[in-house]
Homo-oligomer: A and B are copies of this chain.
Amino acid sequence: MNQKLGNQTVRFATSPYIISRASVVGTKEGEGPLKDTFDMIVSDDKMGQVSWDLAEGAFQKTAVEIALKKAGLGNNDIEYILSGDLQNQCAATHYGLRETNIPFLGLYGACSTMVESLSVGSMIICGGYAERVVCLTSSHFCSAEKQYRNPLEYGGQRTPTAQWTATASGAAILAKEGIGPRITHITTGKIVDKGITDVSNMGAAMAPAALDTITAHFKDTGRTPEDYDLILTGDLGVTGSEILCELIKKDGYDIEKKHNDCGKMLYNIESQDVHAGGSGCGCCASVLCGHILTELEKGNYKNILVAATGALMNPLTVLQGESIPTISHAIAITI
């Protein structure tokens, strides 16, 4: 039987397998330190589309196609596809996946979407509702920048705490049976809002959500940082990572030696001029589906905790003076 632990965590009776995964990234991401771990680095960030908005959808479409091909599967072998993105009304997802002909569940978790998708996907597999599902998400620097901040042509100056939205998509196929890393636990986050209003400091806004979910995970499971080889956050970046490691000490957990962050890993932070690091749904998705799962498969990690974080405001609510609600969802993966 699937088992509820504490208030927020589920331990699966039979952990689903990540049988295949793919990451498709843009040119800048393909020049970063993880370049050898991606399935495709595109030469045209516009993917041959007429708009950045549709280009982002094409990243999702391509990631799904590669993940399926690597597993020797077709669209008919997939029972549900779960995705969402940062565009208004998640348009990248809907245009990117409209020809898949797979039952679709749309999610919105901002940059936590990859883990939300894997969480709900795991529930679907372990509830006996499907043999195989695809979980994915994406972001695109150009579609995000014009929507959330300024037109690209404006060339606005970015603050030191600002992060760089990744142009990337990551897709993972979860299956009841197969070979690959397994999702053993999910810890679903609550909305956390500590009053941060600076949209150029997402790390500070989201760190308390990661704190809330990671400590809940430890409390619910009785585990400690010692049980993991890696505690990976989604995209807190440099600023948010420091805040998280500092704050969680007050709860009695020292994660500094185990912690890393997708936003710190995707780029050469100094030479690629990304300020506090990477962000966007595609950051966690591509780092997880590229580098991290590769390391698990190689045996370099045995047990990891992945806590993706998302900022749940929109540009309008912030202009209206509201603070930034955030969330973090976590999954434990073992090989």
Contact = CB atoms under 8 A, between A and B. Distances in A.
Contact of A87 (B1, B79, B104, B314): B314
A129 B193 contact: no
B129 A2 contact: yes
A243 interface: no
A104 B310 CA distance: 12
A149 to B, nearest CB: 14
B130 A127 contact: no
Among A119, A191, A314, find the residue whose CB has the most chain B CB atoms closer than 10 A: A191
Contacts of A107: 105-108
Interface string A91-121: 1001101101111111111100000100110
Given A105-B188, A123-B124, A90 B1 contact: no
A55 to B, nearest CB: 12
Contacts of A43: none
Interface in A48-67: 50-51, 53-54
Interface in A1-42: 1-4, 7-8, 10
A188 B94 contact: no
Given A98-B191, A102-B190, 14 more contacts: A1-B128, A2-B129, A4-B129, A4-B130, A7-B103, A53-B320, A89-B313, A91-B317, A95-B317, A97-B191, A103-B189, A104-B191, A105-B188, A126-B127
23 contacts: A1-B128, A2-B129, A4-B129, A7-B79, A53-B316, A53-B317, A54-B320, A88-B88, A88-B89, A89-B314, A91-B314, A91-B316, A94-B312, A95-B325, A98-B192, A100-B190, A100-B191, A103-B189, A104-B188, A104-B191, A108-B108, A123-B127, A127-B129
